[in-house]
Amino acid sequence: MKSVDMEDVERLLREVPLPRIIPVLQHFTGPRVEDVRQEVRQAIAKADLKRRIQPGARVAVGVGSRGIANLPDLVSTVLQVLQEGGAKPFIFPAMGSHGGATAQGQQAMLAHLGITEQTMGVPVRATMETLQVGTSAAGLPVYVDREAANADGIVWINRIKPHTSFRGTVESGLLKMMVIGFGKQKGADVAHVAGFGALVERLLDIAPVIQHSLPLWFAVGVLENAQDATAKVVALSPEQLLDQEPQLLAEARRLMPRIDLSPLDVLVVDEIGKNISGVGLDPNITGRYPNDLVKGELAVDKLAVLRLTRESDGNAAGIGLADVTTAAAEAQIDRRKGYVNSLTSTSMTTVKLPMVLPNDRLTLQAALKTCHADVSQVRLVRIRNTQHLDDIWVSEALLKAVKDHPQMESVGPAQVWPFDNLGNLTDLP
């Protein structure tokens, strides 16, 4: 944008007043696992799955791209259980087209999550090469990561939760990772090419081929509570997935946090990223979905996004759900990574670029100017990201709603936004 044009934009925005904001605690309830390592061991033992471990076997352990709570502990404990049984595990990235659909990119995503050869003590074998292991009942080719397909056994670990773009008996979780995560970009493309409306049908069509063609030992599923902490760990045999995962999905849905202050004039999200959600910011929290297949409870007029997480490695999936963002966020974007992910999922909405403004102050002012609310009445909420909702900020117009809410508590006086002399916030993550 030419400087003269930006000067005109700044002139239109510089007098837009910003509401003061109040720090608020949300008191969510729900189960919490205190000893994650012990819980993993108990889950595997309870399901009688140790008997599947074969001494000397090369075991591929699939790990995805999400920032799951306690992920290093979860993975390292599974590895220890396998090693104690005499198996020889290695890790493979089970994340479809993420990481720019390159082996190096996927290995880097695991590293950002604390999963490396050094931290886990086993090899990380990243490849985008696949083997076709069969054809589905609908005639679809079924692809699986080459390293996993050639292993003597496969174990995988993932969080179970509502998906961001579709609804079904299974959504984000173990079965989806088995089909899309294992399939790398090629397999993910087969599953997604008919769109999210057909995704559950394709998952259920492809999954039996993988189950019957590969030496799947077991999967470890994790549920998280509203505080982004581990709420439950389960271990399932491949035969149990179709029966048990829908029940676990329903439980995960009940445990999710929310912003119970609808409608909002402005929602400010400090950071988005692939480690937080498949579309950067979870639409189940923001109410902004990438398609019309899913509807949310929260109504938001204007959505502002300020930064990408470091762990996202430049994949700005989700930025297209915002109305306005910052030049700093734009500078973080690696378009190649987002575009590969978007072309594979067939959802282009999430990588569109919203209005980009030079700093945080102008970005907020643009959202406020266009929401048509007087500053004294504007219903604004600021969150760190859609995983961390214990601590939020609200505008003064929402104070009464906070006081009337049984799970919310204001914990400080109204304060001005902490900008530096460049107009950027000084308290971003």
Q: Tell me how far CA of residue 319 lies from CA of 65, 235, 341, in angstroms.
A: 18, 35, 13
Structure-block tokens of residue 130? 């696949």
- Report the SS3 class of residue 272: strand
Q: What is the pLDDT of residue 2?
A: 41
- Averaged pLDDT for residues 291-315: 90
DSSP letters for 236-266: E-GGGHHHHHHHHHHHHHHH-------SEEE
Indicate whether 173 pLDDT > 90: yes
Indicate whether 5 pLDDT > 80: no
pLDDT tens-digit series, residues 193-233: 888 888 999 999 999 999 999 999 999 999 999 988 999 99
Indicate whether 267 pLDDT > 80: yes
Q: What is the pLDDT of residue 197?
A: 87
Q: Which CATH superfamily groups domain 36-255?
A: LarA, N-terminal domain (3.40.50.11440)
Q: What is the DSSP letter of 18?
A: P
pLDDT tens-digit series, residues 42-52: 999 999 999 99
pLDDT tens-digit series, residues 35-84: 999 999 999 999 999 999 999 999 999 999 888 999 999 999 999 999 99
Indicate whether 4 pLDDT > 80: no
Contacts of 343 (CB under 8 A, 6+ apart): none
Structure-block tokens of residue 182? 């294992």
**In this structure, is the dihedral angle defined by the CA atoms of residues 39, 45, 51 and 56, taken in order, positive or negative?**
positive
* 246-255, 291-300, 410-419: least confident range: 291-300
| Helix (H) / strand (E) containing 416 | none
The percent of residues in the chain predicted with pLDDT above 70, rounded, is: 99
Read off the pTM. Answer: 0.84
Structure-block tokens of residue 84? 């104690």
Q: What is the pLDDT of residue 1?
A: 40
Q: Can you give the residue ranges of every domain in the chain?
A: 3-28+259-410, 36-255
Q: What is the DSSP letter of 419?
A: B
- Averaged pLDDT for residues 139-148: 97
Contact by Cβ (8 Å): 428, 393: no
d(CA 392, CA 406): 16
DSSP letters for 114-148: T--HHHHSS-B-----EEEEEE-TTS-EEEEEHHH
| Helical pair 199-213 and 184-192, crossing angle rounded to 10 deg | 140
Widest CA span in the chain: 71
Structure-block tokens of residue 173? 């979780």
